[in-house]
Chain A
């Protein structure tokens, strides 16, 4: 059996101007390779900046990675290029719901329904959200989440945000829960990193406590060729991000906070 991603990659290599990147990016998302999907989507946007579908792909990848702000920006660009775009409206509705703003999501759901009046799922979602807004906001959130694009549901959110250098979520025993980390040479070092990080949470916690510094928030290690950030999304997990040394440590901290929030959402969904 042939590997569709390999085939699509070969097609794109033989014809870099083709739109096959859209299919390839989606296939990579579905296979759980967000970093590679991001590269393909970014390349597509650079090559076809006026093509709504290229921004839509990028938005979905960014949403997978938990970067809601950038995803919303990309979907808004889709709507500029293609007013009424169903996917963009659904995506923006989804982001609004995830942010606890069902009222903000409603106009996007209504726009999507306007463009696809036969979509029963959307019609039900709009009805439910309207009803829920009259009553409990919490019910509105649940109703709209049910109407969100299926590809966006689930454990999205803490893969690399900007490059392929990775992020990994570990339990307190050093076992990997999700994510991957690659060395600069491209090799997967996730498990090795996980093993060395085992106990870092306990150690950082102990250090902060003994020095009367309160709870620990993060540990950063800056090497000439890369920066590591370790932080505890929950008491029983540790998140590690690895970024190129060109990413300033202050910015890495912000990326880490986003990743930690996404990890907590993901863990809540698993619970």
Chain B
């Protein structure tokens, strides 16, 4: 579990990240979370898992491999999702002005840390 906490902390340390969580991809349930106050973890998990699954199916139907990053961009922020091992997604919610380049990097490294 120490590994899990470290992985989430690694992501949430990035400026502008409101929270990170580990989600079961198949059912969209929260496995672990480190979220700012006001963020509904269950909603983030379910929505991120559902959207990621839809994009994965779309990518596969287009003849592409499984996406390594899925990103929902909205007016006031961004949701990032990366695969983190068997049936798991590492998800982060970022503010509009967050450093998304750094956030993506940390997410992928944290996901690799979890998968190892």
A-side residues, CB < 8 A to B, are 181, 183-185, 187, 189, 192-193, 195-197, 199-200, 203-204, 206-208, 210-226, 228, 230, 240, 242, 249
Contact = CB atoms under 8 A, between A and B. Distances in A.
B81 to A, nearest CB: 9
B68 interface: yes
A193 B47 contact: no
A212 B43 CA distance: 11
Given A184-B63, A214-B77, A221-B56, 6 more contacts: A210-B43, A211-B43, A211-B77, A221-B58, A225-B64, A230-B55
Contact-size category for B: 35 or more
Given A221-B55, A223-B67, A193 B62 contact: yes
B62 to A, nearest CB: 5
A223 B93 contact: no
Interface string B53-81: 01111110111111111111111111100
B65 A225 contact: yes
- The prevalent SS among residues of B at the interface is mixed
A44 B57 CA distance: 38
B51 A203 contact: yes
Interface of B: 38-40, 43-44, 47-48, 50-51, 54-59, 61-79, 93
Contacts of A200: 51, 54-55, 58
15 contacts: A184-B64, A192-B61, A197-B58, A200-B58, A206-B47, A207-B47, A211-B74, A212-B76, A213-B77, A219-B55, A220-B69, A220-B73, A222-B71, A226-B59, A228-B58
A213 B59 contact: no
Contacts of A183: 62-64
A192 B59 CA distance: 10
A105 to B, nearest CB: 35
A195 B56 CA distance: 13
Contact of A222 (B54, B58, B62, B69): B69
